[in-house]
Amino acid sequence: MGDIFLVEGNNQLNIALIPIAAEEEALIYESMSTSTTGIFSLGQTTMVKVQVRNPNDVAVEEVVLISGIGFSELTDNPITITIGGNSVNVARFNIIYDAIGTYTIYCQSLSTTVEIVPGWVDPGLGGVFLVGPGEFYELRDPYGTVYGTAEVTPSSCCFYGITFGGQSCRNAGTFDYDVWVGYLRNNAAEPDAIYSGEYQWSQMLGHYYNWQASGLSLDAFKAAHPNWDILGGMEMWFLSRIPAYCPFTYS
């Protein structure tokens, strides 16, 4: 027996069908990238982009959250983006790295790995060392890439000059190095101490050209420190800043 009973004559039955809500497909987190890839400097700010696709016909709002360590966010995290129907939108996070190491940033099923290095790193030349005229030193980054050979040359105006394969990185714009100089001194207070304090000229010697232009001579230095036994030579630290893309060539 059914649930309706028809009587003789006309019977009227009007029905309203209930539509089944269209099943929403999950959003697709398509890609995660950084504005620059690979190695970042400590304190460097970069952008992390997360691309999300909405496969549904109706626009949706999505809260995009990144996670990880080694960085701090400069902007809101999470970020809410609106993704149109069957469209793609990108959430952009501006972050600054505040710790050295290799870190992975996550977002949903995506991840990207970055290596954070200090803004300045010892390229492996051994730190402080003595150089003299005619000596050559390779200038390398921490990953073994040789960017040039530093030649210590006598200078008419200065103590020593340095050239890198006869080419200048001054205009390269993407490479920088620092030269710290000091002198061996020998006095009663600090015998044989390596002095690298007062004459850590890193700030004024951001480029060796400036150093040459500084015109500091050994005689002037001796005059300023008459009680020091200047052993001669110059101590230098070559500190390369990452990323370093100096277009050195060799002949």
Rule CB under 8 A: which residues touch another protein? 1-20
Q: Would you state the torsion angle of the CA atoms of residues 158, 238, 72, 77, taken in this order, to the nearest 10 degrees? A: 90
Nearest alpha carbon to residue 176 among 200, 205, 151? 205
Distance CA 145, CA 147 (A): 6
Q: Which is nearer to another protein, 16 or 26 (CB)?
A: 16
> Please, what is the minimum distance in Å from the beta carbon of residue 60 to another protein?
20
> Please, what is the minimum distance in Å from the beta carbon of residue 2 to another protein?
3
> Please, what is the minimum distance in Å from the beta carbon of residue 24 to another protein?
15
For residue 198, the SS3 value is: coil
Q: Which is nearer to another protein, 10 or 156 (CB)?
A: 10
Amino acid at site 49: K
> Please, what is the minimum distance in Å from the beta carbon of residue 53 to another protein?
25
- Per the DSSP assignment, residues forming a β-bridge with 114 are 103
Distance CA 35, CA 105 (A): 14
Q: Which is nearer to another protein, 22 or 188 (CB)?
A: 22
Distance CA 147, CA 127 (A): 17
> Please, what is the minimum distance in Å from the beta carbon of residue 9 to another protein?
6
- Pairing type for strands 39-41 and 110-117 reads parallel
Q: Which is nearer to another protein, 18 or 26 (CB)?
A: 18
Q: Which is nearer to another protein, 13 or 26 (CB)?
A: 13
Distance CA 91, CA 30 (A): 12
> Please, what is the minimum distance in Å from the beta carbon of residue 1 to another protein?
4
Q: Which is nearer to another protein, 7 or 188 (CB)?
A: 7
Q: Which is nearer to another protein, 6 or 189 (CB)?
A: 6
DSSP 36-101: S-SEEETT-EEEEEEEEEE-SSS-EEEEE--B-SSEEESS-SSEEEEE-TTEEEEEEEEEEE-S-E
> Please, what is the minimum distance in Å from the beta carbon of residue 57 to another protein?
14
